Amino acid sequence: MKNIRTNIFNPVSPDQVDYLPDHVLSIDNGKITQICSFSDFHGSWEDQRSCICLPGFIDLHVHLSQYRIRGLYHPALLPWLDSSVFPEEQKSLSEAYATALSRDFFSALIKAGTTFSVIYTAPFREAAEAAFEVAHDMGAKAKIGMTMMDRNAPQGLLQTTGYAISNSIRLHEKWNSESLSYIFTPRFAPTCSAELMREVADYAKSHDAFIQTHLSENPDEMAWVKEIFGKSSYTEVYESLGILGPRSILGHAIHLSDPEMDVLSSSGSSIAHCPDSNFYLKSGEFPLSRVKAHNIPFGLGSDVGAGTSLNMLYHAKQMNFRQNTDPVLPSEMLYRISLANAKILHLDHRMGSLDIGKDADILFFRIPDGLYLGEHSLSQLCFSSEDFLLAKVLVDGVNRLGS
Ligand code: GUN
Ligand code: FE
């Protein structure tokens, strides 16, 4: 049992964050067991009054196998995949390489305050298996997928449909806890056959499994999809194959018509919005107000390696900065890297906010010298996060920072 005296910011909705100054947060057996005002508390406590305390961050879209090529610039998606991404992903065929990379990656996630992530690896069983083993060893929580590509990929990365499906199913059967589970990961329509996507969709539906892929990120990609599938829209390709649904997460989804948004909305699919990546690759501006008007659930992803950082506060700031006219308030910036993502993952009974019964995945940020504590501290954290020291990262109640 541990009692921590601190100042809590708890996300509730895009418009609401609860501020609980000078409260005591109690943790037992990895769970939050009590949150009460210090004036009502009796007992011993650890002093974190110089910190603000938030739920662990959730990264909804990140490519582990691209971690070492972050910042390796190319100004457009398809040439970047060919020149930077595919040669690097090829290296994760080596289990030793994939294991060392996974160790670096999960250590860096903790240093950034990310306590749950939704991961693409490379198109090799070895890459996904290494990521799972390392996550398990390090107590990291994630959904992890082996990226699937059974057409239009370079020789060394190209899978047979059978390899992609059978290894994914094996991984899905092996890693099946709420803390660490498999997510089916057809990379995107251009590198996946209709047969592969249909099999993934059918299996995922009958096993309540999650699917992630990319959708309408870049005009050249969209033209390629049109050329291959001949459908009236990119969204229709996924819809017709059964890829959409309440356990489907679509990366980017920038260039969508209103009818496509209606389809996403009625299917219950979610979007992983990756604002940093969208401007890095000059993919375009996320249609924020239209996505909201269509009631499509969305949250933030770093999209490393097209994203340049694992720091979700940085991406929350980019969400604001990468809208020309729509302001994004701090309450929403926090929500989109915590509770929104937990809901999309159907894990909001376990994480996403600081509530009794949830996992004790908790961050403590020290207020910089010269700034004073108050309700405004969240805004200062969101816009000037580099001034705040991340002092402690609890995962299931255990401090993982520095370990
Ligand atoms: N579309 C297909 N693959 C990728 C990828 O690895 N990164 C991004 N940003 N978009 C993609
Ligand atoms: Fe991506």
The predicted-structure confidence for 224-264, as pLDDT tens digits, reads as follows 999 999 999 999 999 999 999 999 999 999 999 999 999 99
Mean pLDDT along residues 199-226: 98
Under 8 Å between Cβ of 171 and 132: yes
User: In this structure, which ligand is nearest to the CA of 74?
Assistant: 1
Cβ neighbour number for residue 232 with a 10 Å cutoff: 12
Is the CB–ligand 1 distance for residue 69 below 6 Å? no
- State both tokens at 146: 């082996």
Percent of the chain clearing pLDDT 70 (strictly above): 100
- Identify the structural domains of the chain with CATH numbers, from first to last: 2-56+352-399 (2.30.40.10), 57-310 (3.20.20.140)
* pLDDT value of position 31: 98
Of 81, 82, 92, 148, the one to substitute when testing ligand 1's pocket (max ligand atoms within 8 A of C-beta) is 81
Which tens digit of pLDDT belongs to each residue from 314-368?
999 999 999 999 999 999 999 999 999 999 999 999 999 999 999 999 999 999 9
Residue nearest to atom 1 of ligand 1 (CA): 214
386 has pLDDT over 70: yes
Residue nearest to atom 11 of ligand 1 (CA): 214
Which alpha helices (H) appear in 268-323, and where do they start and end? 275-280, 288-293, 312-321
403 has pLDDT over 70: no
**Under DSSP, is residue 370 helix (H, G, I), strand (E, B) or coil?**
coil
pTM of the model: 0.98
Is the CB–ligand 1 distance for residue 354 below 6 Å? no
* pLDDT value of position 342: 99
Å from CA of 214 to ligand 1 middle: 7
Which tens digit of pLDDT belongs to each residue from 255-287?
999 999 999 999 999 999 999 999 999 999 999
151 CB burial (10 A radius; 0-12, 13-18, 19+): middle
Nearest to 119 by CA among 249, 263, 222, 232: 249
Å from CA of 321 to ligand 2 middle: 20
Percent of the chain clearing pLDDT 90 (strictly above): 100
Is the CB–ligand 1 distance for residue 303 below 6 Å? yes
Give the whole-angstrom CA distance, residue 368 versus residue 381: 10
Is the CB–ligand 1 distance for residue 129 below 6 Å? no
Is the CB–ligand 1 distance for residue 85 below 6 Å? yes
Å from CA of 332 to ligand 2 middle: 22
373 has pLDDT over 80: yes
* pLDDT value of position 402: 77
